[in-house]
Amino acid sequence: MKPVTTKAEIENSAKKAVEALYGTDITDFKVRVVFAFPHEHKRDSWDVQVTFLSSGLQYTVDLLIQEKDGQITNTRLIDTMVPLV
């Protein structure tokens, strides 16, 4: 796989992972925050928090994406809620 270094590559990798986990019927996909992991000077991964809608619910998911190859090494569901109007 290709390295993940730009904002567009991070978003693309995160969206592919979310579609693999939750299906392709998602809308309003947004990257909320991106942090270098473990820290900026020696980062090897990106800690990415995303939100999206699926089946009438809003999901917030945290992903850890390896910078060198785009592999997802950890994913965590943070919240599921009925979206606010």
The domain spanning residue 19 has which CATH number?
Answer: 3.10.450.630
Q: How many angstroms separate the CA atoms of 8 and 25, rounded?
A: 21
Range of the domain at 44: 7-81
pLDDT digits (tens, 9 = 90+) for 11-43: 999 999 999 999 999 999 999 999 999 877 888
Q: Is residue 1 part of a domain?
A: no
Q: How many domains are there within the chain? A: 1
pLDDT digits (tens, 9 = 90+) for 39-72: 778 889 999 999 999 999 999 999 999 999 999 9
| pTM for this entry | 0.90
Count Cβ atoms below 10 Å from residue 65 Cβ, excluding itself. Answer: 23
